[in-house]
Amino acid sequence: MASFKDRKDKFLGKFSNDIGIDLGTANTLVYVRGKGIVVNEPSVVAVNQKTGQVVAVGSAAKEMLGRTPLHITAVRPLVDGVISDFEVTEEMLSYLMKRAGEFMPKRFLGPRVVVGVPSGVTNVEVRAVRDAAKNAGAREVYIVEQPMAGAIGVRLPVHDPVGSMVVDIGGGTTDIAVISLGGIVRSKNLKIAGDKFNNDIITYIRNEFKILIGETTAEQVKIAVGLVVAGEPLETTIRGRDLITGLPREVIITDSDIREAMAQSVGIIVESAKEVLEMTPPEILSDIMKRGVHLVGGGALIKGLNVLLSEALKIPVTVADDPLTAIARGAGVILEDLDTYRSVLIESEDDINAK
């Protein structure tokens, strides 16, 4: 039988909108109930240091990275999947929720919001996300771990007594999780993901070619010729500053260069996936062997990563359909049926005290 709180939430839900947010280090996606994903913006905010005013958010701010005058700084308010600058995160969430509001009918109350966070976050980090969302205008805030949201987003049977394994490679963190019966059985969170790959590429090109490039160029190179298993040769031209002459110079970069640049970081992800499997109970392991591993998050789009993981783990590894939006879609599924998925949410202190 539904508790008084559940009945109250259901009643108030008729007078408010529902929003799902994948709060990522690299990108933040917003899902609106009944509309799907309506906002997909980089998690970047440009701030005027003289006035303290926010100049731009999202794509407009990302275009400013490395190109701003001294008094304007383009900052990423999330580092390794958690809030590093509370006020800027609040501004960013407020802007994105306002953008999402353009797709929603006007309601009396603030929206109910489901936010995805990395697995294993501390109570302090959860509270920071909850407070930032509430200050940005949310009426109710529910927190879900990103690998769980990703599993729900790709329609895995998370409530069944069947083991599923999800590897979520985002911008700041990689989450490896084994899920069964509505909970995470084993998991590992790494501070190695898309941003680390970009830094690896910057360092490699600086050391090997004596050229300095920025984050945006590194990201473009990773997308263009990032291939973690040898295959059809790929190459691209990059431009940067020659460290010896100080003048602009361009060089041709191949897939083997990028493979070498990212080898150590990719190797750590592979070894961590093995560690999680080694800790997994045998019954669940047999389920995973039959059902395979599911890759979600933007990092899942790196060419050949599923093949490399499959060879290392001796288990089929599949890239989810549209892996970049899987977590936001999962938040949306939770919103559609909050009663069914309440058990997968991270409890707030209020919920614990109410028991």
The helix/strand/coil state of 105 is: coil
pLDDT tens-place string over residues 21-52: 998 999 999 999 888 899 999 999 999 888 88
Mean predicted confidence (pLDDT) in 299-316: 94
On the question of pLDDT at 293 being above 60, the answer is yes
- State the Cα–Cα distance between residues 203 and 199, nearest whole angstrom: 6
Model confidence, pTM: 0.88
Q: What CA–CA distance (Å, rounded) separates 169 from 353?
A: 34
| Per-residue pLDDT at 14 | 54
What confidence category does residue 2 fall into, taking pLDDT thresholds of 50, 70 and 90?
low
11 pLDDT more than 70? no
Q: Which CATH superfamily is domain 160-320 in?
A: ATPase, nucleotide binding domain (3.30.420.40)
Amino acid letter for position 85: D
The residue type at 105:
P
pLDDT over threshold 60, residue 8: no
- Structure-block tokens of residue 308: 């490399």
Mean predicted confidence (pLDDT) in 274-300: 94
Stretch(es) of the chain classified as CATH 3.30.420.40? 4-149+326-354, 160-320
Q: Please say whether the structural domain 4-149+326-354 has been given the CATH code 3.30.420.40.
A: yes
For 189, the token pair is 């969170």
Tens of pLDDT, residue by residue over 128-173, are 999 999 999 898 899 999 999 999 999 999 999 999 999 999 999 9
Distance CA 42, CA 116 (A): 16
Sheet holding 27-32, edge to edge: 36-42, 27-32, 18-23, 112-117, 140-145, 345-346
